[in-house]
Amino acid sequence: MIRYSLKCAAEHSFDSWFQSASAFDALAAAGHVTCPTCGSAEISKTLMAPAVSPARKSPASGVENQLSVPANPQEQALAALRAEVEANSDYVGKSFAVEARKMHEGTTPPRAIHGEARLDEAKKLVEDGVPVVPLPFLPPRKLN
């Protein structure tokens, strides 16, 4: 596998993985490599540095985890949405469907909640008129 830094004719930058350099060439020539922002198939490779891992991690380096920093406006908006949801609602975990149904039926006081539900549970809530919406991020996971 090889990762290329790419850009479209509108100067949108993005990365993508390919099986090989020839696979990228074939897919790009057929118009199957498109910009995720604007959909343009006019794609070119950009200059990129190889990903080299240090021999060992140095806690004194002061380098933050780059994956946790939003890289573009879409990621920033998603991070802001997540912060808003987590700050203004209660996380009810896997009992989301039960809690949402109780509030809809009036057996518990209404409040803002978020959590997890199986696909069949979510479909049943929607069919029964319970107002729910899927969130575009995964719930937080506790690590030991």
pLDDT of 60 over the 70 cut:
no
Which one-letter DSSP state was computed for residue 36?
T
Radius of gyration from C-alpha coordinates of the chain: 22
Does the predicted TM-score (pTM) go above 0.75?
A: no
pLDDT digits (tens, 9 = 90+) for 74-117: 888 888 898 999 899 999 989 999 999 999 999 999 999 999 99
pLDDT of 144 over the 60 cut:
no
String of b and e for 22-58 (b: at least 16 CB within 10 Å)?
eebeebbeeeebbbeeeeeeebeeeeeeeeeeeeeee
